[in-house]
Amino acid sequence: MRKAAALLSLLGHVSAAAPERPMLWPLPQQVASGSDTVVIAADAFDFQPASSPSQELQDAFGRYKAQYFKRRAPAPPAAAVAAATVAVDNDAADLQLGVDESYTLKVSADGIAITAKTQFGAYHAMETLSQLIIFNATAKAYVVNNAPWSVTDAPRFVHREVLIDTSRHYQPVASLKHIIQSFTYAKVNTMHWHIVDAQSFPWIAPSAPKIALGAYSEQEKYTIEDIQDVIEFARARGVRVVMEIDTPGHAASWCSGFPDVCPSATCTMPLRPDTNATFELIEKLIGDLAKVAPDAYFHIGGDEVNTDCWSQNADTVKWMDANNYTAHDGYLYFVQRVTQIVQKLGKHVVGWDELWENFGTQLDKKTIIHQWRANHLAVKPAVQAGYQVIWSNDGPWYLDHEDQTWQSMYEANPCDGLTDKECSTFVLGGGGEMWAERIDESDLQNTIWPRMGAIAERLWSSADQTQVAADAEKRYAYFRCYLNHQGVGAAPYNNPLARTNPPVPGSCYLQ
């Protein structure tokens, strides 16, 4: 008892630049705290499931214990909390859009208790607990300040993504795994994998291996096993992977292996709509991915389609004339054929907002419209026509725009102009888009983080608590330092430009 009293006395006299009160990010829906300090027994701590846990949940227990207790500490007093009870209704739930991610977390001197409907909610609870557990270096102890804590939480939006572009610059598998792990710290639940584009085709498709002739080099290609490995790694952390193959534009890299699907050697895209070879190849590619990517959604792109090259291919012109098609009709035909392929493979279609602008209600009603262009607002008319949408506006939510501050990202509203009912019914969520023209492994982390945290909180937390960036600034600065402690190279939080170096020596919490 004397050891416990001495430790608590020491804890009460510690000062530091970092705030002693834990600051949670993203902000939970409901949270209450007190004024006590609870010591955690790092050496003996364990999770105690209410029933025999699935292997996924067992693995998560091990990951989070390692995340909580990174530093050596002497044995704590006998009164320290040594366990967290975990009760999950279904710990083998399928990871799909809309899966229940809710949880409750209670922390007091009497113990720690987690409840959740699925293992994915339990993961979020364990992450919130990670942000509460602090290592006090002076006392050499793991503690939770401001106990007791009571958290009741669930996301506002079901789709919270980061787009990762692996065509403009190849990202090694290890890099993808590292960035997926970082998603969990902000409760981001989706990696939108823009795997190919005009610049390179870095994937050896089993059904069409020649397509990888469009890769930059032999060392910059994914195998199907690599893709499956990344998807399984993500799933184990509650992160969906939505694959994208952008068509008919952004496809110049296809021409190296399959020149016949391109208009000409010098005018390479969009892909030809007049030959079945194009759609047979697309079906092979999407089919290969469908075998390893269990998510119910597939992104077909459809953006930035300039049909001028079609006029340079005599067969395409002949086909359009025979069908009395304009170039616009050919574009619609292409989108409808690819939609049929995706649906045949048991997936739902997601596409960029040009699809709505060009075709409106001619699109299949289950098509999800992904808004990206700041000056072409598809959300309101699409919603009013009964289509669901995702919001990733070019400007505030494009992570490659280094001049976008975290404040502008935080205060962007995916439901601007919509009623509350329209927002909750038709807006699935959104995310930050990490286009990679100037991004590779060397600067991926500090371009995404910490600014993606601003987007993540807007997508997770209640709207009425996350309106003003200034109100969140202290927590945001704290979150940046939390990321650093987890091994994420998050840039200084108040940078005028993303990924800028710290301006002067100083505390992480003040830069």
Q: Which amino acid is at 409?
A: M
Q: Quote the DSSP letter at residue 345.
A: T
20, 220, 280, 304: the catalytic one is: 304
Question: Which element (helix H / strand E) includes 488?
Answer: none
* CB atoms closer than 10 angstroms to residue 91: 25
Assess contact for 317 and 311: CB atoms under 8 A. Answer: yes
Active site residue 304: yes
Residue 177 three-state SS: helix
Count Cβ atoms within 10 A of the Cβ of residue 403 and give its class: 0-12 exposed, 13-18 middle, 19 or more buried: exposed
Strands 36-40 vs 141-147: parallel, antiparallel or unpaired: antiparallel
Place of tokens 């607002």: 377
CA distances from 135 to 145, 201, 374, 505 (A): 11, 45, 44, 23
Assess contact for 103 and 122: CB atoms under 8 A. Answer: yes
Residue 373 CA, chain-centre distance (Å), reads 20
Per-residue b or e along 409-429, where b marks 16 or more CB atoms closer than 10 Å to that residue's CB:
bbbbebbeebeeebbeebbbb
Nearest CA to 143 among 86, 197, 208, 76?
76
Q: What is the C-alpha separation between 162 and 172, in angstroms, rounded?
A: 17
Cis omega (within 30 of 0) on the bond before 450? yes
Q: What is the C-alpha separation between 215 and 487, in angstroms, rounded?
A: 31
Place of tokens 């109100």: 471
- Catalytic sites, residue numbers: 304
